[in-house]
Amino acid sequence: MKPFSTHSGLVLPLDRVNVDTDQMVPKQFLKALTRQGFGRILFYDWRYKLPSEAPNPDFILNWPEYQGASVLLTRANFGCGSSREHAPWAIGDYGFRVILAPSYADIFYNNCFKNGILPAILKDSEVDELFRRAEADRTYRLHVDLPHQTIRDDQGLEYAFEIAPSRKEVLLKGLDDIGTTLQHVTTIDAYEKSHAGTATMYAPVDVKYYG
């Protein structure tokens, strides 16, 4: 995974609460076999008119001034609903590296870290202020510093954001979780041995049921 340390980029303000992962990647795109190419379909139903797939001019992702945006500013409970990791795949492939919101749904939040995306948590009042600034100036940029856990703009505004130290480390080092876990393989072996007799480890018997 690509490590994350600092990032500067154009801010796209998506002023909606409770944006669910069905909106990020609608169901028909869950039939893929790979993780690539989801950027084109990010926010598909909001972004395109059908059947032509012409860009919907009302949707902010299609506005010319926001092309190249890499910091997504949004509202509470971002990423609720389905566990589909296709959602962060699409966000990352589109070009976003940072999300700023007051809160995230648990599974989505977790999935971001597997894909080198920083979902920073800010206070409601801070998010409000960033929306004010980003909506007043459509060239508004932010500078994100993960080691110091700060974001700042060119006017001198600076906010600190929260992140668990272990999460921070994963992003900074671009860690492969599986590789890290496999370092504990003897501990896993021992766990399996010592728990083999409990209710959690019954071997399957057969699958005959309802005739």
Partner 1 sequence: MTAKTLYEKIWDSHVVYAEPGKPSLIYIDRHLIHEGTSPQAFAGLRAEGRKVRRPDLTFAVMDHSVPTTDRTLPILDMDAKAQFDALATNCAETGVRLFDMNSKNQGIVHIIGPELGITQPGQTVVCGDSHTSTHGAFGTLAFGIGTSEVEHVLATQCLVQGKSKTLHLVVNGKRRKGVTAKDIILAIIGKIGIGGGTGHVAEYAGEAIRDLSMDGRMTVCNMSIEGGARAGMVAPDETTFAYLEGRPFVPRGKEFQEAVARWKQLRSDEDARFDMIVELQAETIAPQVTWGTNPGMVTGVTDRVPDPGSFHNPDDQKATERALHYMGLKAGTPITDIPVDRVFIGSCTNSRLDDLRAAAHFVAGKHVAKNIKQALVVPGSRGIKAAAEKEGLDKIFSQAGFEWRDAGCSMCIGMNADVLPPQERSASTSNRNFEGRQGRDSRTHLVSPVMAAAAAIAGHFVDVREFDVAPVE
Smallest CA-to-CA distance from 10 within 76, 63, 59 is with 63
Q: What are phi and psi of 133, to 5 degrees?
A: -70, -40
Tell me if 193 contacts partner 1 by CB under 8 A: no
Q: For the window 151-190, what string marks contact with partner 1 as x by the rule CB under 8 A?
A: -------------xxx----------xx-xxx-xx-xx--
Candidates 25-33, 59-67, 138-146, 150-158: pick the segment binding partner 1 (CB under 8 A): 25-33
**Pick from 6, 18, 67, 125: which binds partner 1 (CB under 8 A)?**
18
Smallest gap from Cβ 152 to partner 1, in A, equals 26
Candidates 55-63, 136-144, 145-153, 200-208: pick the segment binding partner 1 (CB under 8 A): 200-208
Give the contacts of 121 (CB within 8 A, at least 6 positions apart).
Answer: 101, 102, 103, 104, 161, 162, 163
In whole angstroms, how far apart are CA 100 and each of 45, 70, 71, 150, 192?
Answer: 22, 11, 7, 12, 41
Smallest gap from Cβ 159 to partner 1, in A, equals 20
Instruction: Answer whether the bond into residue 13 is a cis peptide, omega within 30°.
Output: no
Tell me if 39 contacts partner 1 by CB under 8 A: no
Side-chain half-sphere exposure of 48, counting CA atoms within 13 A:
15
Residue 116 and residue 89 in contact, taking contact as beta carbons nearer than 8 Å = no
Q: Which tokens is 94 given? A: 């589109």
Tell me if 136 contacts partner 1 by CB under 8 A: no
| Binding positions for partner 1, rule: CB under 8 A | 15-18, 20, 22-23, 26-28, 30-35, 45, 50, 75-77, 80-85, 88, 103-107, 110-111, 114-115, 164-166, 177-178, 180-182, 184-185, 187-188, 191-192, 195, 198-211
